[in-house]
Amino acid sequence: CFTKKGPSQKQMEGTSFTMTFFGEGYSEGQDPSGKPNVKICTEVKGPEPGYVATPIAMVQAAISLLEDAACLPKEGGVYSPGAAFSKTKLIDRLNKRGVEFSVISKPEI
C-alpha cells in the first residue's frame, strides 16, 4: 500500500533486503583475451533499503571521503563507486552498521 506519508516505523523495522551477485572474471595472470576462468558469488544484505540503509551508506561514504582521502584515486575523471572506494574502509564501515557484504562462494585456483 502506497501513501504520501511513507512507511510506518513498524513497516520499516519489518523490512530488509538481500541482493545476490554472480560474477565471472580472470584469475591473477590469466590472459583477458580468452574466456573468463573463475566465478564468484557475493551477497549484500541489510535493513530497510530506502529510509534506513541508504542514509547509512551515504554517511559512511562521506566519512570515507574524509578519512580515507589518501586511498582514493589521484587522477582521472568520473569513477564508479566501486572504483572510487575500492581501497578505502567503506565496506568495513558498512558491515559494522548492518549493511553486510559477504562472499558466498569463490573460485578455487
The whole-number pLDDT of residue 47 equals: 98
Write the secondary structure of the chain as one string of H (helix), E (strand) and C (coil).
CCCCCCCCHHHHHCCEEEEEEEEEECCCCCCCCCCCCEEEEEEEEEECHHHHHHHHHHHHHHHHHHHCHHHCCCCCCCCCHHHHHCCCCHHHHHHHCCCEEEEEECCCC
Report the predicted TM-score, pTM, of the whole model to 2 decimal places: 0.84
- Per-residue pLDDT at 108: 66
Q: What is the pLDDT of residues 48-79, one digit of tens each?
A: 999 999 999 999 999 999 999 999 999 989 99
Domain residue limits, the chain: 15-27+35-105
Counting as low any pLDDT under 50, the low residues of the chain are none
What pLDDT score was predicted for residue 1?
A: 64
Q: Which pLDDT score is estimated for 2?
A: 73
